[in-house]
Amino acid sequence: MTQVDLALDLGLVPNTPRAGRQADPTTVVFERELTEADLAMPAVRPQRASSIKSLRDGHHALARVLATGSSEAEASLVTGYSGSRISILKADPQFQELLDYYRSQSIEVVADMRARMASLGLDALAELRDRLEEAPDDFSAALLKDIVKEMADRTGHAPQRGPASVMQVNVQLGDRMARARERVEAAQLTAPKTIDAE
């Protein structure tokens, strides 16, 4: 095992007076030798104190923007905070708690909004059904067709737009080519014949 000498000569540290509050005198006390077990222990990092003295409206606004999934650049444009300040705030424990709070709130708000939209959609369908049953003559054939197309589209039964539309284009192209051939043949029959004289 390699030993390292950590002896310090504290007499070499200059003791010059400085402006401001005077430091307490430094005292060094030998407690025990370090062992291999001490070296194997993970370093314990002190928890950083919050740099935010009090949460302000700007902090809340920034946390709400970041909670929606916006990037730091987008949040900077919205809130006016610089990118470096946003990075500092994101590392702050107090701001992280605020951000977590708004993230949990946004999940609840989105879930609540979806539930309300679904409920509103069901109410609208029920009202449409009631009106259709009470006065079916008030609905034109075109309106009924639009309703059916819209409902089919929303439930995954929209008209297919794949090979059928391509075939229709090809059929139309084939018809146009046939008519063009007929015109060429007709023009050849009526055109004066030329004879090559050699």
pLDDT per residue as tens digits for the range 7-53: 555 555 555 555 666 667 777 788 888 788 877 777 655 556 567 78
Helices 83-91, 72-79: axis angle to 10 degrees equals 110
Distance CA 106, CA 113 (A): 10
Q: What is the mean pLDDT of residues 166-184?
A: 70
Instruction: Enter the DSSP assignment of 68.
Output: T
Scanning 50-162, the segments in alpha helix (DSSP H) are 57-67, 72-79, 83-91, 93-134, 141-154
Q: Can you tell me which residue has the tokens 């194997």?
A: 40
How does DSSP classify residue 156?
T
Considering the entire predicted model, what is its pTM?
A: 0.35
pLDDT at residue 6 is higher than 60: no
Say which residue the tokens 């060094």 belong to: 28
* Residue of 11, 102, 91 whose CA lies nearest to 51: 91
- Given a contact cutoff of 8 angstroms between Cβ atoms, the answer to whether 95 and 89 are in contact is yes
